[in-house]
A = this chain, B = another copy of it.
Amino acid sequence: MSLVFSAPISIRFAHCDPAGIVFYPRYFELMNGVVEDWCAQGLGMSFHEMHIVQGIGLPTVHIETDFVKTSVLGDELVAELRVIKLGRASATIEIRMVGQEQDLRLKAQLVLVMAHVQERRAIALPVALREQMRKYLTA
């Protein structure tokens, strides 16, 4: 059975715009934080370990997002992350954010590519990391 990584998201004052709802670029910061937590807590390799120790990274090369329903200041959401496709150097993931009534706020697909930071080129996913990612691969 495949795992789902989930993380709580509090909608803060800093995320909201003059219309009183989440300013959509802030959702991408929040999603980047979900990927960061997934790597550290779900896959056992923190961004610090990747970027500072190993000199590798996981940049996003493609993203598509449906903003289904607005979120407002004080909303408590849950983000769920699944792996949709696992390549040699890339992983396609899906992130959903839902409200307290399981109402979908947004759905996104991101293609992440493992890269050597200094040389700015794609490299194969480290074997151990890829094995951890596989646990989150949807059937």
Contact = CB atoms under 8 A, between A and B. Distances in A.
A60 interface: yes
Contacts of A24: 28, 32, 59-60, 63
A73 interface: yes
Interface residues of A, number: 39
A57 B120 contact: no
A102 B47 CA distance: 23
A76 to B, nearest CB: 10
Interface in A4-22: 12-14, 16-21
A20 B52 contact: yes
Contacts of A64: 62-65
